[in-house]
């Protein structure tokens, strides 16, 4: 059933039309989620079976023929990981022991805007990329960190 839904969602995104996915989740235990729409994606994972890990996750994905947007929020009390990307702005949080994060991305062929906010404890990897010479990615900046963190970042790219 889940595979059929994923296939239907993929069909909707690649077809000429509009799709909007909204979801809120609250639970305890083990959790995994992914969202994909072209270069926009997020991955959230957390908790352990048998442990009382508290998990709150929500997302809104909207995709039209010429633009896409993604909002996701993840609150985790326990172990886990979270990653989000606009194609040009990538944030990966790993080996977490607690997290409160939000991501907001709006993308079209003329403009990409991403804003990420997160606080917690674990590993942080953030990269800002643009298209360079001969289409090769050019890294504008990056952050690597392990420990307690609070990060707020954004990127605006215009064609």
pLDDT of residue 15: 55
Confidence check: pLDDT of 4 > 50: no
Q: Would you say 20 and 62 are in contact if contact means Cβ atoms under 8 Å apart? A: yes
For residue 52, the model assigns a pLDDT of 73
pLDDT at 47: 82
What is the arithmetic mean of pLDDT over 134-147?
Answer: 90
Residue that the structure tokens 């959790």 belong to: 31
- C-alpha span between 39 and 62 (Å, rounded): 13
Given a cut of 70, whether residue 139 has pLDDT beyond it is yes
Judged by average pLDDT, the poorest of 6-10, 78-82, 134-138 is 6-10
pLDDT tens-digit map of 96-120? 999 999 999 999 989 999 999 999 9
Tell me what pLDDT residue 23 has: 94
Give the pair of three-digit tokens for residue 76.
Answer: 């985790």
108 vs 126: CA distance, rounded Å: 22
Pairing outcome for strands 89-108 and 40-46: unpaired
Residue 44 · residue 36 · CB < 8 Å: no
Report the chain's mean pLDDT, rounded to a whole number: 87
Give how many domains the chain has, as a whole number. 1
pLDDT tens sequence across 12-66: 445 568 899 999 999 988 899 998 888 888 999 998 766 678 899 999 999 888 8
CA distance 40 to 53: 27
**Which residue range(s) make up the domain with 45?**
2-158
Beta-strand relationship, 54-64 and 19-28 = antiparallel
Work out the average pLDDT over 75-85: 94
Distance CA(74)–CA(93), nearest Å, equals 11
And the tokens for 71?
A: 């909002």
* CA gap 23, 6 in Å, rounded: 14
């Amino acid at each position: 059933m889940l595979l059929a839904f994923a296939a239907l969602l993929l069909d909707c995104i690649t077809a000429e039309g509009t799709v909007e996915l909204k979801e809120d989740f609250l639970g305890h235990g083990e959790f995994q989620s992914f969202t994909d729409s072209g270069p926009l994606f997020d991955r959230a994972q957390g908790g352990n079976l048998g442990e009382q890990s508290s998990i709150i996750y929500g997302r809104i994905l909207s995709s039209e023929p010429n633009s896409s947007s993604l909002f996701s929020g993840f609150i985790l009390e326990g172990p886990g990981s979270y990653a989000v990307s606009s194609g040009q702005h990538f944030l990966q949080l790993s080996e977490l022991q607690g997290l409160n994060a939000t991501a907001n991305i709006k993308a079209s062929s003329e403009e990409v805007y991403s804003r990420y906010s997160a606080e917690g404890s674990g590993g942080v990897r953030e990269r800002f990329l643009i298209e360079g010479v001969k289409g090769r990615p050019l890294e504008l900046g990056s952050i690597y960190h392990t420990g307690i963190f609070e990060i707020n970042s954004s990127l605006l790219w215009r064609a």
